[in-house]
Amino acid sequence: MEMHHRFSDQVKQWSRRSGTGFPVNNWPEKGSVEYYSLLASHDIAIRRRSLSSSGGSLTFSDGNATFRISSLGFLHYTTVTVGTPGMKFLVALDTGSDLFWVPCHCAECASTDDSTYSSDFELSIYDPDGSSTSKNVTCNSELCPFNNGCNGTSIHCPYHVSYVSSETSTSGILLEDILHLRPLDEYQDFMKAYVPFGCGQVQTGSFLDIAAPNGLFGLGFDKVSVPSTLFREGYVADSFSMCFGKDGTGRINFGDKGSLDQEESPFNINSFHPTYNVNVTQVRVGTLVLNSEFSALFDSGTSFTYLADPFYTMLSDSFHLQIRDLQRPPDLRVPFEYCYVMSPNTSTSLIPAISLTMDGGGQLVVQDPIIVISTLHEFAYCLAVVKSQELNIIGQNFMTGYRFVFDRERLVLGWKKFDCYDVEDSDASGPRSVNYASGPNNITQSYELNRNTAQHLAAPSLYRYNGFDPVHSLLILLIFAFQ
């Protein structure tokens, strides 16, 4: 068997005769920069195809850990490295939007000094001129969907994304630069992938003070998103997973297709603007079964769950009917309608469990349906569901304790109980919000919350919270001050 180098004279003759393969008139000279560049790019392409076909997963070079940060809106954040030399950004992870953006050439961005978070987090500002690998996305690029103001020849693709909530928005220009990644296989080298992202020059609303001050990492379906880019360029399969740990830590992995024993439900795809919507066919609240169907977006960019009527009223009324504790009077500063006082004369409060049955039969048992609040005088807890005007959103609190797989190839959502520490045992030890007290057939399941547990879990008596959904304009500014 004869073997020939890719750019040998023999291969050149074959290419001339067949008219296929690398163009003969552009044949690189041996030893030239172009010669080695073409060989390197060919090797990289082969490695990409090998990684994608083998089911390998990628994550950020700084690791796949995510963290729920209370001082930054209770969203899940992770550190990403962009550019050459690499700059680190603390970005919020959002399955409800598409664009990855960071502050850049700022005319109006969140302050990096004298802010509520400057002492805890070092925030960066991206400088295109300071990165040797930065590229402009031009108006005529297929990656330029935000073409208002483009004349077709401009070297800059402007963008403006309005998140509506409390006049929250970001605008600037689209760029491409290297996103530093690594395979989960520790024996493989680090990788660099060119991805499109927003050079966010002007931020407004929540981006200026409490939510995602150092950037937002959109994980949606659009071609401009990072998951779409990694699949399009052959790095990984068209899927990713996010794990939401009970202790506030989590994991994110690109290319993760989940496991054979996970629950699954098909996405309810809107062809005009596809999102991670799933049909809910049944809701169980304690001993009550609610046979009502609705569609809901699984959105990591929303801390709590939002339901529109009649579903909100059906769920909250069923929850209220099974509570023994005294309901607190309404408080305009709190968006939760159903809050209760833990009686000092009782050792436990029995809280009805909530579970959702999805299209396809998969069941999601909610691990964390309440939020606990402490004051100088008492403990209180609230059903952490907010009434929405029209949109149904499953927020992070309903996803706690699970690994969710957003399989964009098969168009299904998968989920499985997971502790987020790379252990498949759903009963692994770790911080827990509540203890289970199960009844027959899992229908009368309830949570048992005692005052000792509440003391460990409670929010401080003066607590600022910003539940932020950048896509669907559902903004909460919450002060827990029960005095």
User: Which of the pair, 396 or 185, is modelled with greater confidence?
Assistant: 396
Whether residue 253 contacts residue 428, with contact meaning beta carbons closer than 8 Å, is answered with no
**pLDDT score at 211:** 84
CB 371 within 8 A of CB 291: no
Cα gap 93→67, rounded to integer Å: 10
What is the distance in angstroms between the CA of the first residue and the CA of the last residue of the chain? 85
Answer whether 0.75 is exceeded by the pTM. Answer: yes
Query: Percent of the chain at pLDDT above 70?
Result: 72
Of residues 302 and 483, more confidence is placed in 302
The residue with greater pLDDT, 12 or 274, is 274
299 is catalytic: yes
Summarize the confidence of residues 382-393 as an average pLDDT. 92
417 forms beta bridges with 402
CA dist., res. 293 & res. 300, Å (int):
22
Give the pLDDT confidence score for residue 35 in this predicted structure: 52
Long-range contacts of 28-37 (CB under 8 A, 24+ apart): 35/7
Of 175-184, 196-205, 277-286, 474-483, where does mean pLDDT reach its minimum? 474-483
Q: Are 27 and 16 in contact (CB under 8 A)?
A: no
Alpha helices, DSSP H, located in 413-469? 451-457
In 10 A of CB 404, how many CB atoms?
24
Q: Which residues contact 89 (CB under 8 A, 6 or more apart)?
A: 79, 80, 81, 82, 102, 123, 124, 126, 214, 215
Residue of 238, 299, 407, 419 marked catalytic? 299
Point out the least confidently predicted range of 15-24, 151-160, 183-192, 341-350: 15-24
Residue from 94, 98, 177, 407 carrying the catalytic annotation = 94
Please compute the mean of the pLDDT values over residues 268-285 and round it to a whole number.
93
Task: State residue 103's pLDDT score.
Answer: 96
469 has pLDDT over 60: no
Given this model, what pLDDT does residue 305 score? 95
What's the CA gap between 301 and 74, in Å, rounded? 9
Active site residue 94: yes
Task: Give the mean pLDDT of 119-136.
Answer: 87
Mean pLDDT of the chain: 79
Q: Which residues contact 37 (CB under 8 A, 6 or more apart)?
A: none
Does residue 435 register a pLDDT over 70? no
pLDDT-wise least confident of 151-155, 188-192, 237-241, 328-332: 151-155
Q: Which residues contact 9 (CB under 8 A, 6 or more apart)?
A: none
Which residue in 335, 354, 426 sits closest to 394, CA to CA?
Answer: 354
Q: Which of 33-47, 70-84, 101-115, 190-204 has the lowest mean pLDDT?
A: 33-47
Q: What is the pLDDT of residues 40-97, one digit of tens each?
A: 444 444 444 444 444 578 999 999 999 998 888 888 999 999 999 999 999 999 999 9
User: Is residue 85 reached through a cis peptide bond, with omega within 30 degrees of 0 on the bond before it?
Assistant: yes
Residue 22 in this model has a pLDDT that exceeds 80: no
**What is the residue whose two structure tokens read 């630069």?**
177
Mean pLDDT in residue range 448-455: 71
User: Other C-beta atoms within 10 Å of 43: how many?
Assistant: 10
Q: Which of these, 92, 37, 41, 15, lies nearest to 299 by C-alpha position?
A: 92
Question: What value does the mean pLDDT take over residues 237-250?
Answer: 94
State both tokens at 88. Answer: 């680190």
Identify the pLDDT of residue 346: 63
Does the pLDDT at position 453 exceed 80? no
pLDDT of residue 8: 72
β pairing state of 348-352 and 370-374: unpaired
Structure tokens at 176: 């491409």
